[in-house]
Structure 1
Amino acid sequence: MYAFVSVSHPDEIKDRKRQGKLRQHAIRNGIQRSKADRAKKDGVFVPVEMEGKTTVATKRPTNTVALTKAPSVSLMDPFDTLCGCPERLRSLMRHPSAKQAGEPIFCVEDSGKPFFQGMETIFRGALTDPSLFHALSLVLSLAANNNLPNVEILQHRGEILNGIRVNIKGLKGAPQVSTLTAMLLLIGYEYRIDGADCNTISMHIQGVQTMMKLCKERNVALIDEVQRALFWQDLLSCLMAGTPRFLSHRDFSDFKNPIGIDQSQQWQVPKGLEESMMHWPPECAIVLEDLNALCWIVDSECNPDQEVLETFPIDNTQANLESRLMDLLRECRNNPAEPDPWYEACILAAYICTYKLSTGIWMGCYIPEICIGQIFQVIAKIPVDAQYKPAPALLQWVLFVCGGMTERKNIRQQVATLIRERYPDPTQDPEQEWETLRTTLKSFIWCERTMEKRIFIFWNEVYPELHTVDSSRNKMLVV
């Protein structure tokens, strides 16, 4: 502690007592300064004890505690910029059902990060937009809850609508891409829940179309990718909720024609469907001819060791065929005066075959399950005394497509039970039985690369007593 020394005369400074006090004060201050210097050095040099023979440290230094805690790199929102709980969103992204939650807008990678196909820049900082944050949370929460709404899901839906309303109300130029993406995700939520309101879905699709016209007028980036996403939402809304089509493959240069199919060749309808074509619209025959040609191309030209899209890009052709099949399905359903359950079941099965040729970045589980559920409803409507009976071959193909092209065990078991009720246990030699079935199925829509191994595995599940036959085929599923 410092002390003032008063001196009234120059000789007083020479007094021994005063000089002793001054000396003690200086020594005390010097010791305090040296302690501070040693403390600084202790923070730089860490003493350890060494073993003499091995020169290995035997005592580790104790960990130091930081005065301030740095933002964690593991946090999704270290600077608290999001409008909701980021850790809840992270846990939803890691949920097993997250991979199919965002189709066709985004998928969740194995790392737990959402990937927007062709729209990667949307995710960079765009979650600060409350509408997109809640839209992403909405579809992930819905998938985690087995597509059943709960309080959390309804809260996210309310926040989305409020956020979109605020964004549109304050709109001075073109809408943000994040707002359009949030609206697309909202549409996906609406057609996934039971009791979907077709009018609401249609209104939202038309709303996105109107906003995209503003974007086109102002040359907003990424508008083409958003337009493709809207096309798929429009198509899937028609499939799942029965909404009218607002977009067509004819509106897109990439989808307008089936790319890669040589129209100069005489492609034909599969032989198993020739008799049915006499009762079905001519356009159906043209679509099935193109689908049959695409299956042949995939089998003959694609490298078996690579993904289909890596060898032969068929995604645009898939979009063309799926859109045309959906137009046929809608025309069929809008004609209640002449219902044809066989025709409707065939279109849905052909849609599954087309979809499974390549599932792209998605797992390819959700859409086939929707089609299979609708096929079950259609089969129940088939009258027993129907005059036109293309069964049992057509029904057998439809059922094995349903069972073999889905991943859900409960659905596979339902289809297997139905097959065993319709068809008796095999009476031939097991290997001959499979070859007979395979020949029958090949007379319809058939792609060996994407269908044979899957259906063979399912056939063994239907008749487990035959599972020892050619077990080498049953090693893995074709992706």
Structure 2
Amino acid sequence: MADLVVFFSPVQSPARQRQGIVTQQVACHVSQTQTSDDDTNGDQALFHAVSRIHTPWTGIPYATIAGHTVDPFNTLCENPDRLRQLLRHPSARYAGEPLFRIDEQTNHVLFQSLDNLSSFLTDKTLFHALSLVLALEANNHLPNCETLYHRGKVLQSLNLNLGDAPSLQCITAILMLISYEYRVRDTRPAAATHIRGLHILLRQFDVLASGLSSARIQKTQRALFWQDIMCSLATGTPRLLQFDVDDVFSHLRDDKNYQQYFVLPEGLKIHIDDWPATSLPVFTDLNALCCLVDTVHRQKRMPGRSADLDGDNTTVPIPLMEDLDDEGYPLSNAQANLQIRLVDLLSETRAGPQKEKTLIYRACLFAAYLCTYRLSSGIWEGYFAPEKCVTEILNCMENFTKHMSPWRLAPDISFWLLLVAGGLTKSRAYRSRAVSLVQRYRCFYPSDYSQDWEIVGGKLKEFIWCKHTMEQKIYQFWQDC
């Protein structure tokens, strides 16, 4: 994989058997390294609080994978045992999108923008930034003493280091800090501040003085653009950074071989009159992309991601996320194009109790983002964005029930929304929540919807539908209902 960086998670220390010993040593180590007399008592108390909340997630918190010591030369800013434990927490794989991913087999952290590993762990800012996002994910996106400690350390280190030309490690730490901030409700304004600030910093960045290549800086800028997109998705606020979004569908719309795909799904037509005019081309393009993906897989032309339609030997390039793994999260492909347009539409809506039509529209935007995401994710597949969409769909549907009457049938679009949310989530909790909603709605739908998959499948095809990526998962969910 081109330009990827592997950070090996700290290896296991065979001498450590109980977490109480580890956390006491962490607290002791940090209390010895305090440099500010004014903050000594507060930091020490905070670390003792952190040490008390560390609880093992398995019967054996440390499985031995190597026999050598963790930090034989005492080069790290703090004891890495807690970071190692966080990397092995089941939630760790959720934390990195769109900056890094964790290999589930090896627990290695793969970055796009770092190529100098010698100073990775020894960089204090990055050490605490990685600990911050992992600790937040382990605590289900709720800040606690541990996250507050690491966030304070990151901000303190940034205040000291940003006076000089910032290192790539420092820039990456800011990107991680942004991830934390848009996931935590009370710190979302800070995310906007750091997105704007880092954007200005990168525009003024002296590439020659830094010794970094222009390509490396461009990848870092692209990561910042994606953080802006994710922040908009998470908060519902408009994107802060403007950049040209290529119309990757234009050459297909004008081609007679593919014009048949650029139509609005039949099930959406009765709703579109109440929606903004700008949403129509987004749903039309997504419908076309779903058709193209199905055509590609149906004809088994996988290596080139091309489709031979109507026997004309016409090649249609549709690069997806999995085709561009070496680029991490690309911006110039069909999926990214749709996701950017969808977050822009979502930023014009608002969450909370609303009218029935508005709830359906908002849920459809999140469902469209979810369907777009699941078309292809490759090795950089994340969990934050799709599960955020599932959460919002279910929230809309729960609010929608307040508008239902026992003598009134629910619209078919609500059935599609619930099955998309329940079928495409990877969270057991969200899946159970979706099952409960489907069962609650059952009396509002025709009886055939719970008995005959052929009828259900035919109804789902009237909306956004990609057989290759959706049918099997949604069928399994339908059976669970």
For 1:421-436, list aligned pairs within 5 A: 421-424=440-443, 427-428=447-448, 433-436=452-455
Q: 2:74 aligns with which of 73, 80, 103?
A: 80
Give the letter aligned to residue 456 of structure 1: Y
Whether the aligned pair in 2 keeps the contact of 1:309 and 1:360 (CA below 8 Å) is: no
C-alpha displacement at 1:187, in angstroms? 0.7
* 1:218-261 CA distance string (max 9 Å, x none): 5843111111111111111111123331124xx15xx5223696
* 1:311-330 CA distance string (max 9 Å, x none): 85313221110010011111
C-alpha displacement at 1:353, in angstroms? 0.4
Q: 1:374 aligns with which of 381, 392, 395?
A: 392
Q: Within 2, Cα distance between the matches of 1:380 and 1:309?
A: 43
Residue 176 in structure 1 maps to residue 167 in structure 2: yes
Give the direction of change, closer, same or farther, for the CA distance of 1:420–1:336 in structure 2 (3 Å limit): closer
Q: Which structure's CA Rg is the greater one? A: 1
- Corresponding residue number in structure 1 for 2:186: 196
SS in 2 for 1:115: strand
Give the letter aligned to residue 320 of structure 1: N
Give the letter aligned to residue 284 of structure 2: E
Q: Within 2, Cα distance between the matches of 1:107 and 1:307?
A: 25
Residue 144 in structure 1 maps to residue 144 in structure 2: no
Q: Within 2, Cα distance between the matches of 1:310 and 1:157?
A: 43
Q: Within 2, Cα distance between the matches of 1:390 and 1:228?
A: 46
- Corresponding residue number in structure 2 for 1:121: 115
SS in 2 for 1:202: helix
SS in 1 for 2:278: helix
Q: Within 2, Cα distance between the matches of 1:429 and 1:380?
A: 20
Residue 237 in structure 1 maps to residue 243 in structure 2: no
Q: Within 2, Cα distance between the matches of 1:335 and 1:147?
A: 20
Q: 1:330 aligns with which of 319, 336, 347?
A: 347
Give the direction of change, closer, same or farther, for the CA distance of 1:273–1:189 in structure 2 (3 Å limit): same
Give the direction of change, closer, same or farther, for the CA distance of 1:112–1:284 in structure 2 (3 Å limit): same
C-alpha displacement at 1:89, in angstroms? 1.8
Q: Within 1, Cα distance between the matches of 2:187 and 2:454?
A: 46
- Corresponding residue number in structure 2 for 1:453: 472
Give the direction of change, closer, same or farther, for the CA distance of 1:304–1:188 in structure 2 (3 Å limit): farther
Residue 283 in structure 1 maps to residue 278 in structure 2: yes
For 1:152-167, list aligned pairs within 5 A: 152-167=146-161
Unaligned residue ranges in structure 2 (runs of 5+): 1-65, 307-317, 322-332
- Corresponding residue number in structure 2 for 1:64: none
Give the letter aligned to residue 358 of structure 1: S
For 1:438-449, list aligned pairs within 5 A: 438-449=457-468
Give the letter aligned to residue 366 of structure 2: L
Q: CA RMSD in A?
A: 3.0
Q: Within 2, Cα distance between the matches of 1:275 and 1:420?
A: 25
Whether the aligned pair in 1 keeps the contact of 2:296 and 2:302 (CA below 8 Å) is: no
Unaligned residue ranges in structure 1 (runs of 5+): 1-71, 463-479
Q: Within 1, Cα distance between the matches of 2:283 and 2:202?
A: 34
SS in 2 for 1:333: coil
- Corresponding residue number in structure 2 for 1:15: none
Give the letter aligned to residue 376 of structure 1: L
Whether the aligned pair in 1 keeps the contact of 2:238 and 2:344 (CA below 8 Å) is: no
Whether the aligned pair in 2 keeps the contact of 1:198 and 1:243 (CA below 8 Å) is: no
For 1:197-276, list aligned pairs within 5 A: 197-215=187-205, 218=208, 220-221=212-213, 222-248=216-242, 251-252=243-244, 255-258=245-248, 262-264=252-254, 265-266=258-259, 267-276=262-271
Residue 299 in structure 1 maps to residue 287 in structure 2: no
Give the letter aligned to residue 269 of structure 1: L
Residue 314 in structure 1 maps to residue 333 in structure 2: no
C-alpha displacement at 1:124, in angstroms? 4.6
Q: Within 1, Cα distance between the matches of 2:299 and 2:116?
A: 35
Q: Report sequence identity in percent.
A: 40
C-alpha displacement at 1:162, in angstroms? 0.8
Whether the aligned pair in 2 keeps the contact of 1:258 and 1:321 (CA below 8 Å) is: no
Q: 1:400 aligns with which of 407, 419, 429?
A: 419
Q: Within 1, Cα distance between the matches of 2:224 and 2:382?
A: 19
C-alpha displacement at 1:210, in angstroms? 1.2
Give the direction of change, closer, same or farther, for the CA distance of 1:179–1:295 in structure 2 (3 Å limit): same
- Corresponding residue number in structure 2 for 1:186: 177
Q: Which has the higher contact order (CA 8 A, sep 6+)?
A: 2
Give the direction of change, closer, same or farther, for the CA distance of 1:74–1:206 in structure 2 (3 Å limit): farther
C-alpha displacement at 1:336, in angstroms? 11
* 1:375-428 CA distance string (max 9 Å, x none): 233234446279xx9952110011001100001122111111111111249855
SS in 2 for 1:80: coil
Q: Within 2, Cα distance between the matches of 1:309 and 1:94?
A: 36
User: What is the number of residues matched between the two proteins?
Assistant: 379
- Corresponding residue number in structure 2 for 1:135: 129
Give the direction of change, closer, same or farther, for the CA distance of 1:129–1:260 in structure 2 (3 Å limit): farther
